[in-house]
Amino acid sequence: MPLSVEDPLTTNEINTIGALNLLEAVRANRVKRLVFSSTCALYGDEPTLPKQETMPLFPLSPYAVSKLAAEGYCLNYMAHYGLETVILRYFNVYGPRQQPSSAYAGVISLFIDHLLAEKPVTIYGDGEQARDFVYVTDVARANLLAGQSRSAIGHILNIGAGLPTTINALYQTVSGLLEVNLPPQYGPPRAGDVRLSYADTRLAQHHLGWQADVSLANGLAQTISTML
């Protein structure tokens, strides 16, 4: 998301225009259903917790704004062209093969990569910002269910573990699993970052029969095992 603050035009080109191009291709080829990957970043710092799909949206970054526009296009294509759409708002997805060298790397892959090399880790802000970390196999299962469920058509669904974890607590867990005793460094908060976020997943349970199965401890252990 910080990159979207630096370059909002490219962000819009990829996320909004890219989604519109995809929807046009889907319409032209008579595809029956589209499952769209959206983001919990749309909720911003609206103080209500957990985050519910029907709450007001306060996107804090160009990335979040671009995803909100793409959601709108998905719903429009359903209304005007009959395309079945299901919108999944992912929370913080993590797991194997998430590249720490990428500009979009997740905090978990960065922590693991740095601690394995015994390099200092920078936490932005005070580290008490909380996120909802959901393992990639749970997310993949949600997508498969969204492609099959009749009940899910036309709905926006949160996909998360439903539990908040602070960045400080995450760091302590990862460093403990790796048995590396290296204190983190702290930097200034990043523009566009949300303070607190975790999912209310009751709609996903209702429409998909889905809930996250992989605990954070087990997901971290599996992720670490692929990076050793």
**Whole-number pLDDT of residue 193:** 78
pLDDT band at 46 (very low <50, low <70, confident <90, very high): confident
Query: What's the whole-number mean pLDDT along residues 152-177?
Result: 97
The total of structural domains in the chain comes to 1
Catalytic residues: 63
Q: Where are the alpha helices (DSSP H) in 51-208?
A: 62-81, 107-116, 136-146, 167-178, 202-208
b/e map of 198-219 (b: 16 or more CB within 10 Å)?
bbbbebbeebbebbbebebeeb
Range of the domain at 10: 2-227
**Tens digits of residue pLDDT in 59-105:** 999 999 999 999 999 999 999 999 999 999 999 999 998 888 765 56
CATH code (residue 220): 3.40.50.720
Say if CB 122 and CB 184 are below 8 A apart: yes
Query: What's the whole-number mean pLDDT along residues 23-42?
Result: 97
**Whole-number pLDDT of residue 102:** 64
Position with higher pLDDT, 136 vs 45 = 136
Q: What is the pTM of this model?
A: 0.93
Residue reference for tokens 């995809």: 22
Cis peptide before 189 (omega within 30 of 0): no
**Whole-number pLDDT of residue 79:** 98
**Whole-number pLDDT of residue 203:** 98
Position with higher pLDDT, 171 vs 195 = 171
**Whole-number pLDDT of residue 1:** 66
Tell me the residue type at 1. Answer: M
Which three-class secondary structure state does DSSP give residue 86?
Answer: strand
Residue 44 has pLDDT above 80, yes or no: yes
As a whole number of angstroms, the distance between CA 123 and CA 195 comes to 13
**Tens digits of residue pLDDT in 184-226:** 999 999 877 788 999 999 999 999 999 999 999 999 999 999 9
Cα-based torsion angle of the residue sequence 126, 118, 132, 158 in order, rounded to the nearest 10 degrees: 130
**Whole-number pLDDT of residue 104:** 57
**Whole-number pLDDT of residue 103:** 56
Nearest CA among 97, 75, 95, 83 for reference residue 141: 95
